[in-house]
Structure 1
Amino acid sequence: MLHDAVVNLGPWSWWILGVVLLCAELAAPGVFLIWIGAAAIVIGALSLALWDAAFWSWHVQLLLFAVLSGAFALAGRRFYASRNQATDEPNLNRRGESLVGRTATLHEPIAEGRGRIRLDDTWWSVMGPDLPAGTQVKVVAASGRDLRVEAA
């Protein structure tokens, strides 16, 4: 049945596959299916011109589709990777890193390298040298959910 549909549709089967993949990209965004869909449309365009050529078998079409899909995906990845732009808010959505340089008072003493501070409305686990509660500390680094502090 599928074979008959592809034979009856001819080169348009690639166009249909390309449009289906592009629509799937809209339904499940991830900027990946767009490149495979573009490869299918290119194969469809080549098929319109080469459909009756002896060398244009389904084997050649599938091989070229696989190669173009990989090439387009790599080119798209390189294109999007080069679009990282400088921003005036480099620590946006990196809350721990945005706290580096701030000072706070130890709520719980740092014992065996661990303690707690309160910054704004959040309690943070801190790591650093042993210090008593009430000591002013400065955040010098962020590592996941923990902040590294030293005496201010």
Structure 2
Amino acid sequence: MGTLEPGWWWIIGGLALLIGEIVAPGIFLLFIGAAAVLTGLFVLLLGLGLAPALALFAIYTALAVYAGRKVYANRPVAASAKHLNDRAAQLVGRGAVVVRAVDSHDGRVRLGDSEWSARGGPAAEGERVEIIGVEGNCLIVEAAPKLAQ
């Protein structure tokens, strides 16, 4: 059983880093793995020694990270995703049903399969309300617009 050429070790290491990116996504291993694979290809093609291979790897890594930062830094968040990590803000605009009469101080509403504290309204038990805001874990509601008959 023979030993592998150094270029293959670079490629195997690069592939391991790319697999690591899939297992634990963080974007950063992607660039280092790509640089290692590219270095391995050049080492195989040109028969480079260790010092030139390390220098080439350092250059490729810097270029890959620079290019990756340029690509990922210019990705605006879509307007529909502006509350992606603010679950309470995602409730604004949704409808709910009053479980206990809602006034400016107190009340409860059912939203989906859970009940929430609410205030605003006024709205009687069984009426539909629309969520217009959230303060802590209390929904701010107003009477839902009536549908034309």
Shorter-normalised TM-score: what interval? 0.5 to 0.7
Pair 1:147–1:132, CA change in 2 (3 A): closer
Task: Kindly state the Cα deviation for residue 74 of structure 1 after the two structures are TM-superposed.
Answer: 2.0
Structure 1 counterpart of 2:48: 51
- Corresponding residue number in structure 1 for 2:62: 67
- For residues 25 and 136 of structure 1, do their structure 2 counterparts lie closer, same or farther at Cα, with a shift above 3 Å needed? closer
Does structure 2 conserve the Cα–Cα contact (< 8 Å) formed by 1:105 and 1:137? yes
**Alignment: residue pair count:** 137
Match of 1:104 among 86, 97, 109: 97
Distance in 2 (CA, whole Å) between partners of 1:125 and 1:111 is 12
Q: Deviations over 1:33-72 (max 9, x none)?
A: 23321121122223333715xx8263x2353143034135
Distance 2:128 2:53 in 1: 75
User: Identity over the aligned pairs, expressed in percent?
Assistant: 26
**Kept in 2: contact 1:50–1:56 (CA 8 A):** no
Shift, 1:130, TM fit: 7.6
The answer to whether the Cα contact below 8 Å between 1:110 and 1:129 also exists between their aligned partners in 2 is: yes
Output the TM-score relative to the length of structure 1: 0.57
> What is the TM-score with the length of structure 2 in the denominator?
0.58
Q: Which runs of 5+ in 2 are unaligned?
A: 145-149
Kindly report the root-mean-square deviation, in angstroms, between the aligned alpha carbons of the 2 structures.
Answer: 4.4
